[in-house]
Chain A
């Protein structure tokens, strides 16, 4: 169970956070959210897809980590296999909780139940003077950065939808053994629709700086083959 509380220099005077290189907290996640600014980097390792949030039905961009629910093919034997680490994975166990009544003031919180929390080893949250350490400030900056970039990612997705560039993908995979395997609920950029865009719409994409992430997303789909190969050949 998570216990997410705002950090404060009194309760958390001696609290430290262990190193999280293995990203063990994400071992059962089959998707992780992405911001559009990291598409080109993420595409080197992960297929980039779009899924609907079940609460709101709205689209978000994700890196596919597994081929089915709760499967993470990138976390293997205590190690993370991907070269690029998506921003959303780098901030655990910290969270930004927006305070009610004020949308731009947010409190930095920590999951007190996390296995990374310790009183003896790891990076401290507060220094001798009770000030937030550089470690904490840097994480806070990342969280704020993610928040801004998420808004830009939403705008990116809104333009894709407006131009009807997303379509539902039912990935039918043939495993090396010849079995058929089905992933549904994923949406991806439709290359044919992109190619058939009227000139002025295509120019708009260029002017908005959307071309690189669009092509990164398209190219990233090839990474699925690597995932299938890894899954069925290890």
Chain B
């Protein structure tokens, strides 16, 4: 049986990313049709504005111009994440911070972590290996108006308006890949004896038959989770965050737009703060076991410098974990329907994009292809989800904050995976290297771990340094410093570049 008719259920970011990835991969085949069905009643999650550099490759692949994307989605640039107060303020100061930027931390090929371990008291690790943290502190954009689309002087991603992003993706999918767009509420599914879905039952359009189904229904995981009963693997024993209070705060004209995501830790979680040109998206995430809702609202108000008790904040409960499989017979879940972790490292759009891309690159042509493809897919993505959980967990368990149970509980060995525990033990004695990462599906690799471990002052034993290495390291640090200076002089202020892009656009060459 040929797989020709593909349905995507759900019109949020994940659904439309899937539509474009599948469209780009399959549109050469005139037999294949893609239909996205979204509910006219169920809202999208309404938050989710941080991305990682891989999104640029996807947008480029789809054929969307960076100029159009920035203009239509209120996008701003993101160099990385600034983590504030993740370390004990008595030891490291009030508002202590470190950066996790996107630039690869081996600017001249050498690993400078061993060198930094000898001098760490003086400089932030990120400043030794990249110019990006300095660019962030100076409020500079990662490129100029004359830099071609999707290229930059520093590695970057975006902050964006999720609703507008879905709209742009949907417009593009329709015009470029002939994706059909229907509005209907799915009330049930019909399956054949072998457990394959044969049709969607909808309230407004009756039964709709397809050959393959993408579940992009968000937290509900309506098809994979609810109807096909694929179990959810709960990770709340490792990751305690289970609630979010969210709000949008208008910004004044002509104020600076931080070119990075802020993540400010508090006694039971942390606060995200993402700036778009006209407003900030801010979210207070916390563990309800460690902080009550009223107190959370008060603390959030305090952060926002708003009077009152924060009654206007929207509360979103968050179940942390992921499905035991993501591809079951002729159904694949993409996005929040696959799983969720707190957005500490902007993983929601990252995982949706990654999963959609992976599916589109080896999409079954006939029913017989499904078993082996699904097996590979599930294995790769399960591994990636586990590693994502580990990376997020690491931010907590290497902190030395002890001002609340939330922080001390997070360091209890039984709350981290065995894999993470072993990695951390190893890294006490040896700094992270590429060989510590076993798979292509790590999501976060040596460069990310280096930034977070050493941003948080992790105590790795100082290795002996050869004279040759020290000379090279000194020369490279000096060269990087000069390069930083050059960039500091060349690059425009963030808001100024966004305004110019609105006015003049970017060239694609």
Chain A interfacial positions (CB closer than 8 Å to B): 52-59, 161, 166-168, 187
Distance between Cα atoms of A57 and B147 in the complex (Å): 8
Chain B residues closer than 8 Å to A52, beta-carbon distance: 146, 507
In the bound assembly, the distance between CA atoms of A57 and B151 in angstroms comes to 14
B146 near A54 (CB under 8 angstroms)?
yes
Cα–Cα distance between A54 and B146 once the two chains are bound (Å)? 6
Contacts of B505 in A (CB 8 A): 57
Cβ B506 vs Cβ A187 within 8 A: no
Quick one: closest A residue to B507, CB to CB?
A57
How many A-B residue contacts, CB cutoff 8 Å? 30
**Chain B: interface residue count, which band?**
10 to 19
Greatest chain B CB density within 10 A among A52, A59, A161, A166 is at A52
Instruction: Find out whether the CB atom of A168 lies under 8 angstroms from the CB atom of B509.
Output: yes
Selected from A57, A161, A166, A167, the residue in CB contact (under 8 A) with B146 is A57
**Are the C-beta atoms of B145 and A161 separated by less than 8 Å?**
no
Distance of A98 Cα from B465 Cα, bound (Å) = 65
Contact A57 B509 (CB under 8 A): no
Residues of A near B302 (CB, < 8 A) are: none
From A56, A161, A166, A187, contact of B500 by CB (8 A): A56
Could you tell me which B residues sit within 8 Å of A by CB distance? 144-147, 500, 503-509
Which of A56, A168, A187 sits near B504, CB closer than 8 Å?
A56
The 10 sampled A-B contact pairs (Cβ below 8 Å) are A52-B146, A54-B145, A54-B146, A56-B145, A56-B503, A57-B147, A57-B500, A57-B505, A57-B506, A168-B509
A37 CB, min distance to chain B CBs, angstroms: 24
**Separation of A59 and B507 alpha carbons in the complex (Å):** 9
Least CB distance, A48 to chain B, in whole angstroms: 17
Contact, CB under 8 Å: A166 / B504: no
Q: Is the CB of B509 within 8 A of A55?
A: no
Contacts of A168 in B (CB 8 A): 509
CB-nearest residue of chain A to B147: A57
Inter-chain contact B509/A187, CB cutoff 8 Å:
yes
Least CB distance from A168 to B in Å reads 6
Distance (whole angstroms) from the CB of A161 to the closest CB of chain B = 7
Cα of A187 to Cα of B145 in the assembled complex, Å: 16
Neighbouring B residues of A161 by C-beta, 8 Å: 507-509
Do A166 and B145 touch across chains, with their CB atoms under 8 A apart? no
Q: Taking the nearest CB of chain A, how far is it from the CB of B58, in angstroms?
A: 21
How far, in angstroms, from A59 to B509 measured CA to CA in the complex? 10
B504's nearest neighbour on chain A, judged by CB, is A56
* Chain A residues within an 8 Å CB radius of B146: 52-54, 57
- Complex: A187 Cα to B506 Cα, angstroms: 15
| B509:A167 contact, CB within 8 angstroms | yes
> Shortest distance in angstroms between B458's beta carbon and chain A's nearest beta carbon?
42
Which residues of chain A have C-beta atoms less than 8 A from B508's C-beta?
161
Shortest C-beta distance, A169 to chain B (Å), equals 11
Contact B145–A55 (Cβ < 8 Å): yes
A56 nearest in chain B by CB position:
B504
| Closest A-B pairs by Cβ, 9 of them | A57-B145, A57-B146, A52-B146, A56-B504, A57-B507, A57-B504, A58-B504, A54-B146, A168-B509
Closest beta carbon of chain B to A103's beta carbon, Å: 16
Residue of B144, B503, B506, B509 touching A166 (CB-CB under 8 A): B509
Chain B residues with CB under 8 Å of A54's CB are: 144-146
Residues of B within 8 A of A58 (CB): 504, 507
**Could you tell me the distance in whole angstroms from the C-beta of A52 to the nearest C-beta in chain B?**
4
In the bound complex, how far is the Cα of B67 from the Cα of A58, in angstroms? 13
Q: Which residue of A is nearest B497, CB measured? A: A57
Q: For B509, what are the chain A residues with a Cβ–Cβ distance below 8 Å?
A: 161, 166-168, 187
Known contacts A56-B500, A57-B146; can you find 16 more A-B pairs with CB under 8 A?
A: A52-B146, A53-B146, A54-B145, A56-B145, A56-B503, A56-B504, A57-B144, A57-B145, A57-B147, A57-B500, A57-B504, A57-B505, A59-B507, A167-B509, A168-B509, A187-B509
Q: How far is the CA of A58 from the CA of B505 in the complex (A)?
A: 8
**Would you give the shortest CB distance from B435 to chain A, in whole angstroms?**
37
Closest beta carbon of chain B to A193's beta carbon, Å? 11
A40 to B508, CA, bound (A): 28
A187: chain B residues at CB < 8 Å are: 509
Report B-chain residues with C-beta under 8 Å of the C-beta of A59.
Answer: 507
B509 CB, min distance to chain A CBs, angstroms: 6
Cα(A54)–Cα(B145), bound, Å: 7
* Nearest CB in chain A to that of B501: its residue: A57
Q: Which residue of A lies closest to B145 (CB)?
A: A57
For the complex, what is the distance from the CA of A136 to the CA of B504, rounded to whole Å?
Answer: 34
CB distance from A59 to the nearest CB of B (A): 7
Closest Cβ of chain B to A50, distance in Å, is 10
Complex Cα–Cα for A166 and B509 (A): 8
Set of chain B residues within 8 Å of A55, measured between Cβ atoms: 145
State the CA gap A206–B509 with chains docked (Å).
Answer: 24
User: Chain B residues with Cβ under 8 A from A166's Cβ?
Assistant: 509
Considering the chains assembled together, what is the distance between the CA atoms of A52 and B143 in angstroms?
14
Complex alpha-carbon distance, A166 and B506, angstroms: 15
> From residue A157, how far is it (CB to closest CB) to chain B in Å?
11
Q: Which of B146, B503, B504 has the most CB of A within 10 A?
A: B146
Report how far A167 CA is from B145 CA in the complex, Å. Answer: 18
Chain A residues within 8 Å of B147, by CB? 57
Point out which of B147, B500, B506, B507 has the most chain A C-beta atoms below 10 A from its C-beta: B507
B507 surroundings in chain A (CB, below 8 A):
52, 57-59, 161
Note all chain A residues with C-beta closer than 8 A to B145: 54-57
**B224 nearest CB across to chain A (Å):** 42
Docked CA distance A54–B497 (Å)? 12
**What is the CB-to-nearest-CB distance from A18 to chain B, in angstroms, rounded to a whole number?**
37
- Nearest B residue to A166 via CB reads B509
A55 to chain B, nearest CB (A): 7
How many whole Å from A186's CB to the nearest CB in chain B?
Answer: 12
Closest Cβ of chain A to B507, distance in Å, is 6
Residues in chain B near residue A57, CB distance under 8 A: 144-147, 500, 504-507
Closest to B505 in A: A57
